[in-house]
Structure 1
Amino acid sequence: MRTRRVLVTSALAAVFAVAPLGSATAETFPDIISIPTGSMPEGIATGIGTSIYAGSRADGSVWRGDLRTGRGDLLVQGA
C-alpha cells in the first residue's frame, strides 16, 4: 500500500510523551508518520494516550495511528 508522509513536530511529540521530559526511560517519537496516499487529511486529532486520528476529505475515511510507534491503519473505511 502506498502511503503519504506527514511530519510530526518535536513540540507535538513532547506534548504527548508518556514519560516525563528528561526521564532516562523516555522513548523518542518518529519524525515522520505515514498515512494512506491520496487521503487528503481534513483534520488531525489526538485521543487517549498516544492515539492520533486523521480524517480524509477524499473519501470520508478515518485513519488511526500511534504517535509513539508511527504505525496505524484505517479505522473507518471511506465511501
Structure 2
Amino acid sequence: MKKILVALPIVALMAGCQTTNNQGALTGAALGAATGAAVSGDDDRVAGALIGGAVGAAAGNYVGRNNNGNCVYENSAGQRYTAACP
C-alpha cells in the first residue's frame, strides 16, 4: 500500500506532460489501481490493483478522447456551451 501512495504523486506529475487522451488514461489507471487495491482483500491486492488499473485506463481514455480540447463554459444566464480551451 505504501508503494501505491508513493507512486500516485509521480503518476500525477507525469500526467501533466501528456495529451488529453493519454492524460485521461494515465489518471484513470492510477485512480483505478489505487481503488482496486483499497477495496480488495489482503491476499489479492495486486490483482485488485491490476484489474482496477485496466478498467480505469479504459475509462480515462474514453473520457479524454471525448474531450477533444474543448472546455465547458457557463454564461451569466446559466447556459452551458462548449468552446476551445484557452
Say whether the fold is shared (TM-score over 0.5).
no
Q: Greater helix percent: which structure?
A: 2
TM-score (structure 1 length as normaliser)? 0.30
Q: Greater strand percent: which structure?
A: 1
TM-score (structure 2 length as normaliser)? 0.29
